[in-house]
Amino acid sequence: MIERFNRFLAWLARNIKKTIGFLGLIALMALVFTTAFSQGYHFMREDSYAAQDENAGTVAVEIPEDATTNEIADLLQQRGLIEDTWEFLIKARLMGATDDFKSGIYYILEGSSVETIIETLRAGDQSDVVPIHIAAGATIDEIATLLEESGICSATDFQRAANLTTYDISLIKNIEVPEGRRYILEGYVLPGTYQIIRDSSATNVMEVFLERFVSEYTASLSQMADQSGYTLDQILTLASIVQSECAVSSDYSTFASMLLNRIRSGKESLSYWSMPSTVLYAQHRTEEELTSVSEADQQYDSPYNTYLYQGFPPGPICNPSIDAIRAVLYPEDTEYLYYEIDLNAPNGSRHFSVTEEEHNAYLESQR
């Protein structure tokens, strides 16, 4: 109902100049105000738990001093942030924001709703805000380096903040911390673009990350996670391996199925997951290719090394995307137990096998 009304409002905004005159506009505004009141203005509010596009960038916009609402609308349209100026003008008036817009520099996420843009422009100048983009699969160490290079906080402080559980976030209160775990909060930073104030404390930055995680995870995945039989930390550990081992997202759900099948198989040989990504993490070589892991590397003594140690590593090996987490919770229905990089695939996709014989035959065919 709310979504349909929002679409109707946008359609009216795009066609208003063609369909009505001044008196018609007055009548339309009266109708909109009445409906908005009856809906409690819900039609104008963006879902606070809507997932963020992890690949979306930010657009820098400078609002001049004394710019009118019409001029601001034109500027936003020119920068590709809104499709129609009339929709912006109508919603700004309905939100009582036409006199609240402030001059300054703003960083606006691509694909933001009109309501979000309006609230951003009401909040005031963002010249002290730094847009940070965290890639899917980034590690805490890589994020720490990015934050330091961006002038937000020191890498060392952020690494310390990633080992705290004192944040007021219930999801992290019961994380088990086995011996050898590098960072308690590895896996809990969702990829995407964040607006962070320059010279923030590392703990405040981590709180921003955790709040995003809670909002997106709670919205779409928590119920299924509760039914999975795994803890949240185990789900994120599995998702981090899916993220690290797959070159293309189309392999996520198949790879997750294969990994879960290994866990359920009860076979001694498969209790060693033998994932090269876990070795690279253990050796602080996460930017290198999976194929760079040698037989000697497979003997590297670390609890993260799934060639040497059975079952789950001490924790996630990167910060996975929502898609990778979803793949673990909604895996493809397969009987696969083995995989290998498909050397014939230009995109680096994986080849999966049901039996060890099929797997070995495929490996032989690639020699």
pLDDT digits (tens, 9 = 90+) for 274-312: 999 999 999 999 999 998 999 999 999 999 999 999 999
The rounded distance, in Å, linking the Cα atoms of 302 and 130 is 36
Boundary-marking domain end, from 123, 151, 175: 123
Backbone angles phi, psi at 302, to 5 degrees: -155, 140
CB contact at 8 A, 45 and 115? yes
CA angle 103, 108, 114 (to 5 degrees): 90
The pLDDT value given to residue 123? 82
Residue 39 has pLDDT above 50, yes or no: no
**DSSP states of 306-358:** TTTS-S--SS-SS---HHHHHHHHS-------EEEE-TT-TT--EEEESSHHH
Q: Are residues 185 and 281 in the same domain?
A: no
Instruction: Give the end of a domain, one of 103, 123, 143.
Output: 123
Cβ atoms 212, 52 nearer than 8 A:
yes
Same domain, 200 and 329: no
The whole-number average pLDDT for the span 227-256 is 95
Alpha helix stretches (DSSP H) within 20-68: 22-38
Contact 142, 286 (CB under 8 A): yes
Based on the domain organization, do 351 and 280 belong to the same domain?
yes
183 and 235, same domain (yes or no): no
Of the residues 102, 123, 144, which one is the last residue of a structural domain?
A: 123
- Over range 156-170, report the average pLDDT: 95
Average pLDDT on 21-42 reads 44
Together in a domain, 265 and 350:
yes
Identify the pLDDT of residue 239.
98
CA 12 to mean position of chain CA atoms:
33
pLDDT of residue 327: 97
Indicate whether 156 pLDDT > 80.
yes
Answer whether residue 22 shows pLDDT above 90.
Answer: no
What is the reported pTM? 0.72
Residues 60 and 149 in one domain: no
- Judged against a pLDDT cut of 60, whether residue 235 lies above it is answered with yes
CA atoms within 13 A on the CB side of 287: 4
Average pLDDT over residues 22-35: 46
Pair 229, 361 in one domain: yes
Residues 256 and 214 in one domain: no
What is the band of 227 on the pLDDT scale with cuts at 50, 70, 90?
confident
Tell me, what's the pLDDT at 226?
Answer: 85
Cα gap 162→182, rounded to integer Å = 9
pLDDT at 242: 98
> Average pLDDT of the chain?
85
Residue 56 is predicted with a pLDDT of: 60
Q: How far apart are CA 228 and CA 236, in angstroms?
A: 12
User: pLDDT tens, 106-136?
Assistant: 888 888 899 999 998 888 776 678 889 999 9
What is the three-state SS of 143-182? HHHHHHHCCCCCHHHHHHHCCCCCCCCHHHCCCCCCCCCC
Tell me the residue range of the domain where 86 lies.
Answer: 2-123
pLDDT of residue 199: 86
Residue 325's pLDDT is what? 96
Give the pLDDT of residue 105. Answer: 78
Average pLDDT over residues 166-193: 93
One-letter amino acid identity for 342? D
Is the same domain home to 248 and 339? yes
- Identify the pLDDT of residue 79: 86
Q: Is 131 helix (H, G, I), strand (E, B) or coil?
A: strand
Q: How far apart are CA 198 and CA 234, in angstroms?
A: 34
Q: What percentage of the chain has pLDDT greater than the value 70?
A: 83
More confident site: 346 or 203: 203
Number of structural domains the chain divides into:
3
Phi, psi at 193, each rounded to 5°: -100, 130
Same domain? 261 vs 354: yes
Grouping H, G, I as helix, E, B as strand and the rest as coil, residue 199 is coil
69/6 same-domain check: yes
In terms of domains, do 22 and 140 share one?
A: no
Instruction: Give residue 207's Cα distance to chain centre.
Output: 15
